[in-house]
Structure 1
Amino acid sequence: MPDRNIEFGKFGASGIKGYEAAARQLDSLAGFITTPLTTRRGLLARLHYLTRTPHARQAARDAGLTVTDRTLQAWLEGRRNPSKRNLDKVETAYRTVRRHNVARYLLARLNRQGRGTRVEFHPLNQSQVDRPRQRVVSFRTLNVRHWDRIVEAWAAADSEALDAAWVSDATADLGSEWGQYEYVTNIGFAA
C-alpha cells in the first residue's frame, strides 16, 4: 500500500483521518458521561464511577489519578474542589477506565460472532477544491469482520496502533481505492 497522503488539504479538501472518525464513533458507543466535568454533577458522576469499588479505585490510580483517599472523600463531600490539573487527571482517568471497562462489550457487539459490522465511509469534503482537481470519491459501505486490534488500540488510547489497525483491518478491504478514504468527513457503524 502506498504510504498515506503527504500534503492533504493543499488544494482545499477538508476532512479528518479515518481512524480519528472511528475513534469518535467508538467513544459515542462507549457512552461517556456528557455532563461537563466543571459542574458539580459532572465531577461527582466521574468520581463515583472511579471510586465505587476497590477495583475501580485501583484502575483509577493506574490511569494516573494519584490523590489520597482523604482528598477523594473531601471532593465527594464538597468540602474541597480539585485544581485544574487534578480535574484533567480525573477526566483522563475516567475515560481510560471507561474505555477499558466497555472494550470487551464493544468487541462482542462489533464482531457479532464473526458476522462483523457494516461501516459507512463518508468521503472527504471537496467543495473548496477547484473543479479540475477534484477526485471522484463516493459514499462506500463495507462489512468489517475483525475488530480486535481496532478496539484494543482504542481502549489503550494508542493513536499510532489505531491508525495501523484501521488501515489494515478496515480500509484495506476497499481494494485499490483505500487511499481515497484515508481522510473522511465521517465514519458510521451499523452497531
Structure 2
Amino acid sequence: MEKATFAGGCFWCMVQPFDQLPGIVEVKSGYMGGTIDQPRYEQVKTGQSGHLEVVQITYDSTTFPYNRLLELYWPQIDPTDAGGQFQDRGSQYTTAIFYHNEDQKKLAELSRKEIEASGRFQKPIVTSIRRADTFYLAEDEHQDFYKKQPEAYKKDRKESGRDEFIVKNWDSGR
C-alpha cells in the first residue's frame, strides 16, 4: 500500500472523487504542511497554522497507479487560484500535491507541465508540489462528510461553484 496526499481546497469536497474506487483502500481528511503539532480544525481554518486541508489516500498502486490519482486530482481544482479554492479563501485552502517519494514527485511535475502546456488555462498554474510531511488526521466530524451529511455536502458543493467550474473548465475539453 502507498500514500498520496492532495490539497484541493475544502477537504469535504476532495474525498468523494477518490473514495470507493478499485484499489483505493481509504481516503482520510486531515492537515499537512504547517508549523504546529496536532493542529485542530479551529486553528487550521484561521490560516495561522500554515497547514493546508488535505486528503490522504491509501491505495494499491498495482490496481490504481499514482498517475491515475493525478488524473483524478487535477479536474477537482482550479489550479490557477493562488488565494484558495472557490468560496474557501486563504492559504489553508490552496492547492498542492504532497509527494511521498521521488517517483511521485516526477509524476506530479510531469502532470503539472502537461496541464500548463495544454492551453486549457490562460493564467499560470500555481498548484505547488511539495514533499509530504506529517499528516494530522482531521476530527471525526470531517471524515466522510459527504456520507454523514449528504444534504449539507451537496449544498456546500453547489454554493461553492466547484462543480460549475469543473464542467466549464475540465469536462468541456480544451
> TM-score if structure 1 supplies the norm length?
0.21
Q: TM-score, normalised by structure 2?
A: 0.23
Structure with greater strand percent: 2
Please identify the structure whose Cα radius of gyration is greater: 1
